[in-house]
Amino acid sequence: MTAATPALLAKARKHLFVAVVSDTLDNMGLVGQALAPAIRPLDEALTFLGRARTGMYREMFHVQPGNPYELEIKLIDDLRKDEVAVLACSGNPSIAPWGELLSTASKARGAAACVTDGLVRDVKAIRRMKFPVFAGGIGPLDSKGRGIVAEIDVPVELGGVRVTPGDLVFGDADGVVVIPKAIEAEVLSAALEKVLGEHKTLAALKKGEKLATVFARYGVL
């Protein structure tokens, strides 16, 4: 129940990938931690592991008087190194809460990534700056007059998974998994061990051994 140490996080960033962490969570009985496949990376070459900072969008159908970006600005300006902006939009396909400006501001603060079930825009510019964004789609529609951040730093759900502020969020080309804070050290350690088993299995399969033989020997598939 202790938090992952910086050393463990560094090791995880170097050796782990999302699929092996997903399997590890499964083995611990946490079978609902992978975001739905509709949430995809803008750039499949980028990976991230960081702590969730959450924002909950709501739909609206008029332009709110005052600053429509107030809580969104507050969340982004407060991001710290290795934090992940997690923006839940109730799966709304008509709003792009993220774009080049927020990517630029987040990167300047050392943030790790943005994960949202809404849309993202300015995708060419964001790819150029190599900031990891995982989104529910691509579209040009600004949030102003369509949605607004109603709360920040509260539990949210996106892609079918609950994210609590402070949870570890891990993304690569295979998708995104959420690692609950309370068991993060245990999950990362177990996943690092599992990686070894997979290497042996893979080597045997490359040599042309039967799956049945290899699975019987290592118990990993």
Of residues 99-158, those binding a second copy (CB under 8 A):
99-102, 104-105, 108-109, 119, 121-124, 137-142, 144-146, 150-151, 154-157
Q: Which stretch binds a second copy (CB under 8 A): 2-10, 26-34, 180-188?
A: 26-34
Structure tokens at 192: 């690092």
Rounded least distance, CB 65 to a second copy, Å? 11
Rounded least distance, CB 137 to a second copy, Å? 4
Q: Are 178 and 52 in contact (CB under 8 A)?
A: yes
Is 18 one of the binding residues for a second copy (CB under 8 A)?
yes
Structure tokens at 185: 């050290």
**Backbone dihedral region of 176: left (phi > 0), alpha (psi from -120 to 50 degrees) or beta?**
beta
Residue 6 per-residue DSSP state: H
Rounded least distance, CB 21 to a second copy, Å? 8
State the Rg of the chain over Cα: 19
Question: Three-state SS string across 116-137, please?
Answer: ECCEECCHHHHHHCCCCEEECE
Given the structure tokens 């051994």, which residue do they identify? 209
Structure tokens at 41: 């990376």
Binding characters for a second copy, 53-72, by CB under 8 A (x = yes): ---x-xxxxx----x-x---
Select the residue interacting with a second copy from 4, 9, 16, 22 (CB under 8 A): 22
Select the residue interacting with a second copy from 12, 111, 177, 191 (CB under 8 A): 177
SS3 category, 93: coil
Is 43 one of the binding residues for a second copy (CB under 8 A)?
no
Given the structure tokens 């177990």, which residue do they identify? 190
Alpha-carbon span 73 to 62, nearest angstrom? 20
Q: Which stretch binds a second copy (CB under 8 A): 2-10, 91-99, 184-192?
A: 91-99
Is 74 one of the binding residues for a second copy (CB under 8 A)?
yes
Is 174 one of the binding residues for a second copy (CB under 8 A)?
yes
End-to-end, the C-alpha distance of the chain in Å comes to 28
Rounded least distance, CB 6 to a second copy, Å? 24
Select the residue interacting with a second copy from 5, 10, 15, 31 (CB under 8 A): 31
Nearer to a second copy, 14 or 124 (CB): 124
Given the structure tokens 């061990």, which residue do they identify? 193
Structure tokens at 33: 């931690």
Is 93 one of the binding residues for a second copy (CB under 8 A)?
yes
Structure tokens at 205: 């399969």
Is 10 one of the binding residues for a second copy (CB under 8 A)?
no
Is 36 one of the binding residues for a second copy (CB under 8 A)?
yes
